[in-house]
Structure 1
Amino acid sequence: MPLAPPETLIRDETGTQRLVGYVVDVSDPAHGRCWLDVDERHLNRHGALHGGIAVTLLDNASGTTGSLTVDATGKAPFLTVSLNTQFVGSGKPGRITATGTVTGGGRSLLFISADLRHEDGTLVATSTGVFKRVPKERLT
């Protein structure tokens, strides 16, 4: 994957993003992405990527993908209605990237799938979910 222009990367925007350390990439208008450089802080007691962190990345890539359908900055609010995750392989240290794809939906609900891959191409996890567009005034 080519390097994204710095202006298309979102860093340290939320508390969760700062805590976990992932970066959101909105350089592709059709696919929201987020990536994380996995180190010992992200591993479970067995030395593999913690499942909760994998789900966080899949959820964020999916929500960003939904947002990109209405806002080129990827910041329009979308909420997760449901998210199903399948753990396929063991995550390990190195860069992992979650990428979302819209698979269906309408004006207010989108169906989005995502995959999480290690930089060596290994598939770590996949997800399918339903995401709802929420007007900004309803978030307050």
Structure 2
Amino acid sequence: MIEIIEAETGAQKTLGYVLEIGHEDGSARCRLDVTEAHSNRHGVLHGGIATTILDNAMGATSSLTVDPKGRTPFLTISMSTQFQAPAHAGKRVTATARVTGGGRALLYLEATLVDEDDRLIATSIGVFKRARTSRTEEGR
């Protein structure tokens, strides 16, 4: 069953993206209905916002490796985004991520951002680390 996470963080509230947790392939998806508010000076989806959507999909997918609800926080250590095509207002874009490797301390992921016509907008790779959540964990 797919769980929808929306308006949970300041970034989600500001940008309006939604996380989908619980896909059968073990990935999280992050989707955004692109509006003029998401546009750059050229009238297309701003690259920083596209990167944010990709980052959230990879972070949530990382979380799913240790938490079936996708709520365990992971930090982005590094990330690289490659832009392929513009996304226009009025289109929905969806980022899907998958774990490609890693071990106990770090996870390696890749993600794609496509529009509702399945046109590739951007790709990304990233390295993620589980965030420490208590003083007990910090001592480890």
CA separation in 2, counterparts of 1:127 and 1:17?
Answer: 20
Determine which of 87, 97, 100 is the counterpart of 1:100: 97
Which residue is equivalent to 2:22?
27
Determine which of 71, 78, 91 is the counterpart of 1:75: 71
Structure 1: 5+ residue runs without aligned partners?
Answer: none
Deviations 1:28-70 (A, max 9, x none): 1611111000011111111110001000000000000000000
What's the CA shift for 1:115? 0.4
Which residue is equivalent to 1:122?
119
What's the CA shift for 1:135? 2.9
TM-score, with structure 2 as normaliser? 0.91
Question: Share of identical aligned residues, percent?
Answer: 53
Structure 2: 5+ residue runs without aligned partners?
Answer: none
What's the CA shift for 1:137? 1.2
Whether 1:41 aligns to 2:37 is yes
Total equivalences in the alignment: 135
CA separation in 1, counterparts of 2:106 and 2:96?
Answer: 19
- For residue 89 of structure 1, what is the amino acid of its counterpart? A
CA separation in 2, counterparts of 1:133 and 1:90?
Answer: 32
Q: Which moved more, 1:107-116 or 1:26-35?
A: 26-35
Determine which of 54, 60, 66 is the counterpart of 1:64: 60
User: Structure 1 residue runs of 4+, over 4 Å off?
Assistant: none
CA separation in 1, counterparts of 2:105 and 2:62?
Answer: 10
Whether 1:89 aligns to 2:85 is yes
TM-score, with structure 1 as normaliser? 0.91
Output the aligned Cα RMSD. 1.7
